[in-house]
Amino acid sequence: MRKEQNVYVRPTWHAKFPNITSDFNTIKNTLAPAILSAEYKTPPPPRGGRERGSMINYSIVIMSTTPGTKKEDITETKAYGTAQVHEVLDLNKFAKHISDHGCTYDRADIAAVLTKAVDCLREQLLLGNKVNLGELGSFHVELNTEGATAPDEFTAANIKAVTVRFTPGKSFKNLRQDATFQLVPGRSAISDAIEVIKNEDTIHGLE
């Protein structure tokens, strides 16, 4: 990954929230050095059979301390971390990944099994069954319904949606213990960037 340490960021927060200048300046003074000191480097070699060393990219965003608050009503903000997707694996790529990790079946066979598993999972859920896939987790359906004034007035017509609920298994409840992290620029910062300024000691545009 190319090293890009200094990014020009449009000064939108100060303009939108003039009443929280103090909060913004406090966060700016901690956020800027964090971005500048981030190590944008190639992830370490695989260890323990886990590709990319379980590296998770994250960026820093400034958000309201009260979720759901309208922008014009924000009075306090803090810096939070948010995960950034490194790569999207479709079914074929994921099947190849499995095949390359000591599996006796080739990519085509694995992709066929995964495709069939999706079909069968959907079939079982439509039968009202719960499917437990061990350490991966379990799947079951939930209903989104429209209320009726009385029980005898509720019919299937009041069911507006049937959604799938996934409950993580033991291996997926919390990946924190096995994860390592790398700070990267956020998507919004990159999209708002006017130019990349190299060999500078400050991030311009935050004042």
pLDDT at 39 over 50: no
Burial bucket for residue 204 (CB in 10 Å: 0-12, 13-18, 19+): middle
100 and 157, same domain (yes or no): yes
Q: Which tokens is 45 given?
A: 């070699």
Identify the band that residue 69 occupies on the pLDDT scale cut at 50, 70 and 90: confident
Residue 75 lies inside a defined structural domain of this protein: yes
β pairing state of 159-168 and 55-64 = unpaired
Identify the band that residue 146 occupies on the pLDDT scale cut at 50, 70 and 90: very high
* Amino acid at position 160, single letter: K
In the 8-state DSSP scheme, what is residue 77? E
18 and 79, same domain (yes or no): yes
Residue 203 lies inside a defined structural domain of this protein: no
- Report the distance separating Cα 182 and Cα 196, nearest Å: 20
> What's the angle, vertex CA 108, arms to CA 104 and CA 114, rounded to 5?
90
pLDDT at 63: 87
The answer to whether 4 and 40 have CB atoms below 8 angstroms apart is: yes
* Mean pLDDT, rounded, of the chain: 76
Residue ranges with strand state E in 137-176: 137-145, 159-168
Q: Is 78 left (phi over 0), alpha (psi -120 to 50) or beta?
A: beta
- Report the distance separating Cα 64 and Cα 189, nearest Å: 17
The better pLDDT of the pair 39, 189 is held by 189
71 and 108, same domain (yes or no): no
23 and 61, same domain (yes or no): yes
How large a percentage of the chain has pLDDT more than 70? Answer: 64
pLDDT at 189: 62
User: How many domains does one find in the chain?
Assistant: 2
pLDDT at 187: 66
Residue 100 lies inside a defined structural domain of this protein: yes
Render pLDDT for 89-124 as a digit per residue (tens, 0 to 9): 999 999 999 999 988 999 999 999 999 999 999 999
Which residues have CB under 8 Å from 79's CB, separation 6+? 27, 30, 31, 60, 61, 62
β pairing state of 159-168 and 137-145 = antiparallel
pLDDT at 68: 87
**In the β-sheet with 180-183, what is the strand arrangement from edge to edge?**
77-84, 55-64, 180-183
Task: Provide the residue range defining the domain that includes 16.
Answer: 12-87+184-192
Residue 145 lies inside a defined structural domain of this protein: yes
pLDDT at 6 over 90: no
Least confident of 25-39, 53-67, 145-159: 25-39
| Residue 120's CATH number | 4.10.520.10
Identify the band that residue 173 occupies on the pLDDT scale cut at 50, 70 and 90: very high
Residue 141 lies inside a defined structural domain of this protein: yes
Residue 25 lies inside a defined structural domain of this protein: yes
Q: Which tokens is 116 given?
A: 């069939």
pLDDT at 197: 45
